[in-house]
């Protein structure tokens, strides 16, 4: 069978790589893909605008595509799944309405309150003056968030009122996040350790994936600006069996049921970003897709078929699918362009020292292939991902792989996984 994957990041390289491993898969197309997907066996890139739904439909018909997996949030929030499913093309991803869980922070916070899902206290505003007035009524630190999609960068942690005023000015007045900042959420700062809980959800059925932890801040020790994620490892020991059960009972099942009650049952990867402190859990955000970079270490551990997992969810047969995992630990370290998550230069030629891919995989993100060479084309360029018998070994293997890759201005965090090793 033929498969189409929408997206161009490290997550999509990992999805394509995993799909291509199934013997019954003939071709995996990635729109638009990167140098990593270009070089992958059985995988090819397709130059198409992922917001041109008609072009995608035409391509699916022409290439006899039997499964579409939508990687990033933008096409989901724009309704790509609804469109393709209305043309009888099997598509794995939530509907436009269900994707509002990620597409609007006000929507998701109101949803949490309605369905009694634990989250930080908040208030949302579409009026600048009222939001400024609110700053006199709260304690600090506080968190100011643009309502809409901002590529993981629309959240500003403010130590005091001055910083919060600056944040509101940049969102409301300077339009730092464009229309995503027409509304803001101001919420209580939560203390604790973060974890990513990702599941495959199909209507009233859930298969939780193995746990993981991301590293959002750009610098070692979690300092500096927030990014899309600088590295992740799996499993995350912070999610003990008791916490795991609590997340399912208090977050995942109520969310799944709430979406059914709203008339927008879920299909796809559902990602809860959580803050955990002792045995207290709170939801920071929902994403309507697989995490990037969490996908890379998680898929390195998946032994059963990803294609069958997605198809059984689409066919409402998730209860017949038995998910199998490699018991090893995994760790992925993002290699980024100097300057990221702010402005950075692209088009740097990448050199690779020889390496073995056993127990390790270099996933590409912001790369492109030209004249037999790989060049950088984005902020996050690679995710060097590896397995190990324990997290320490997985971390070592991942950093050994990082050492094999070089380009001008490359940087990476040196402490990915340390929190899980302590």
Token reading at 80: 């790509």
DSSP labels for 42-69?
TEEE----TT-HHHHHHHHHHTTEEEEE
Whole-number minimum distance, CB 286 to ligand AMP, in Å? 9
- 146 pairs with which residues across the strands? 184
**Of positions 40, 57, 187, 294, contacts ligand AMP by CB under 6 A:** 187
Stretch that binds ligand AMP, among 3-11, 24-32, 184-192, 310-318 (CB under 6 A): 184-192
Residue 143 interacting with ligand AMP (CB under 6 A): yes
Hunting for tokens 């900042």 — which residue is that?
181
Rama region for 171: left / alpha / beta (φ>0; ψ in -120 to 50; rest):
alpha
Identify residues 287-306 at the interface with ligand GLY (CB under 6 A): 287, 291-292, 294
DSSP H helix total and E strand total for the chain: 15, 25
Residue 95 partner contact from ligand GLY, ligand AMP, none using kind-dependent CB cut-offs of 5 to 8 Å: none
Tokens for 9, please give them: 């990041």
How would DSSP label each residue in 382-409?
A: EEEEEEESSHHHHHHHHHHHHTTEE-TT
Given ligand AMP, ligand GLY, none, residue 291, with its beta carbon under 5 to 8 Å by kind, binds ligand GLY
Of 31, 67, 69, 155, the one binding ligand AMP (CB under 6 A) is 155
How far is CA 119 from each of CA 106, 122, 126, 137, 145, rounded to the nearest angstrom? Answer: 12, 9, 21, 20, 14
229-288: which residues touch ligand AMP (CB under 6 A)?
273, 284-285
Query: Helix 10-20 vs helix 306-314: angle between axes, to the nearest 10 degrees?
Result: 100
In angstroms, give the least distance from the CB of 229 to ligand GLY.
3
When CB distances are held under 5 to 8 angstroms depending on the partner's kind, the choice from ligand GLY, ligand AMP, none that residue 189 binds is ligand AMP
Which residue's CB is nearer to ligand AMP, number 183 or number 348? 183
Among 89, 190, 365, 381, binds ligand AMP (CB under 6 A): 190
For residue 370 the two structure tokens come to 């030209």
Q: Which residue is nearest to ligand AMP (CB)?
A: 285
Q: Which two tokens stand for residue 85?
A: 């499913």
Q: What does 9 bind: ligand GLY, ligand AMP, none (CB cut-off 5 to 8 Å by kind)?
A: none
Q: Which residues are at the interface with ligand AMP (CB under 6 A)?
A: 120, 143, 145, 155, 157, 187, 189-190, 194, 216, 226, 273, 284-285
């Amino acid at each position: 069978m033929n498969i189409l994957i929408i997206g161009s990041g490290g997550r999509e390289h990992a999805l394509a790589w995993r799909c291509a491993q199934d013997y019954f898969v003939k071709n995996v197309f990635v729109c638009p893909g990167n140098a990593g997907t270009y070089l992958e066996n059985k995988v090819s890139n397709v130059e198409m605008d992922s917001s041109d739904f008609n072009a995608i439909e035409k391509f699916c018909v022409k290439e006899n595509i039997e499964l579409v997996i939508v990687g990033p949030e933008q096409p989901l929030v724009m309704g790509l799944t609804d469109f393709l499913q209305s043309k009888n093309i099997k598509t794995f991803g939530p509907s436009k309405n269900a994707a509002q869980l990620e597409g609007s922070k006000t929507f998701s916070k109101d949803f949490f309150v309605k369905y009694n899902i634990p989250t930080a206290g908040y208030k949302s505003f579409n009026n600048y003056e009222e939001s400024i007035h609110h700053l006199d009524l709260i304690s600090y630190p506080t968190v100011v968030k643009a309502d809409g999609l901002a590529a993981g960068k629309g959240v500003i942690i403010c130590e005091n009122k001055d910083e919060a005023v600056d944040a509101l000015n940049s969102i409301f007045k300077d339009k730092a996040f464009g229309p995503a900042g027409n509304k803001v959420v101001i919420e209580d700062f939560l203390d604790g350790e973060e974890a990513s809980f990702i599941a495959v959800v199909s209507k009233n059925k859930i298969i939780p994936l193995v746990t993981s932890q991301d590293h959002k801040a750009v610098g070692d020790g979690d300092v500096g600006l927030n990014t899309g994620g600088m590295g992740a490892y799996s499993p995350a020991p912070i999610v003990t069996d008791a916490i795991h059960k609590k997340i399912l009972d208090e977050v995942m099942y109520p969310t799944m049921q709430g979406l059914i009650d709203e008339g927008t049952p879920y299909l796809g990867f559902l990602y809860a970003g959580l803050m955990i402190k002792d045995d207290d859990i709170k939801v920071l955000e929902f994403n309507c897709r697989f995490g990037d970079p969490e996908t890379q270490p998680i898929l390195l551990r998946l032994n059963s078929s990803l294609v069958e997992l997605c198809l059984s969810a689409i066919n409402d047969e998730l209860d017949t699918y038995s998910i199998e995992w490699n018991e090893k630990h995994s760790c992925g370290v993002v290699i980024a362009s100097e300057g990221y998550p702010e402005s950075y230069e692209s088009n740097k030629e990448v050199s690779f020292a020889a390496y073995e891919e056993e127990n390790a995989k270099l996933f590409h993100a912001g790369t492109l292939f030209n004249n037999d060479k790989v060049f950088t084309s984005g902020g996050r360029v690679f995710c060097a991902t590896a397995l190990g018998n324990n997290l320490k070994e997985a971390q070592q293997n991942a950093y050994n792989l990082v050492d094999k890759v070089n380009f001008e201005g490359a940087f990476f965090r040196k402490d990915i996984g340390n929190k899980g090793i302590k």
